[in-house]
Amino acid sequence: MATITFQGKPLNTSGDLPAIGSTAPDFSLVSGQLKDLSLADFSGKRKIFSIVPSLDTPTCAASTRIFNQKADSLENTVVLVISADLPFAQGRFCEAEGLKDVIPLSTFRSNFAEEYGVKIVDTILAGLTARAIVIIDEQDQVIYTELVSEVADEPDYESALAALK
């Protein structure tokens, strides 16, 4: 369990992010077509997980836009934006914003948040995902993680992208 804050008040997650150097846990996440996708669906590619509480918040929207801008220049890399939003809402957001270089995936019907230690377990945000970045290489090894200590803050984009070099 990790402790982070939301507007300065502490809250807890269901666990810890996967350790750097470990094999990434498999997952099942739901696409906009209501298809369950797993780690194997992105085999052979580097994977950036931009985990956010909800695309319907300013910080989550901003970080998704930034990763969309960066995604096009990242060789052999997919950017998965993972949230507790329903797939329909994720699709509307990406369509309205013109975001085509990130893949929105929902924790709907999934144990991803528990497996990756990002499920918020208390306060008014219980059930949402904490803001985090997890980067996985082509062999499904975790090479970078960041659990953002304040839910309302953006992640450290520079450090995350540097891990891919």
CA–CA separation, 158 and 154 (whole Å): 11
Confidence of residue 165 (pLDDT cuts 50, 70, 90): confident
Tens-digit pLDDT profile for residues 129-150: 999 999 999 999 999 999 999 9
Q: Please indicate whether residue 94 is annotated as part of the active site.
A: no
Residue 150 lies in a domain: yes
How many domains is the chain partitioned into structurally? 1
Domain of residue 149, CATH code: 3.40.30.10
60, 71, 82, 161: which is the annotated catalytic residue?
Answer: 60
- Is residue 6 scored above 90 in pLDDT? yes
Per-residue pLDDT tens for 36-88? 999 999 999 999 999 999 999 999 999 999 999 998 889 999 999 999 999 99
Angle at 128 between CA 126 and CA 129, to 5 degrees: 120
Q: Does 63 reside within a domain? A: yes
Q: Which domain holds residue 128?
A: 3-14+28-162
Torsion of CA 92, 137, 24, 90, to 10 degrees: 0
First to last CA, the chain: 30
21 belongs to a structural domain:
no
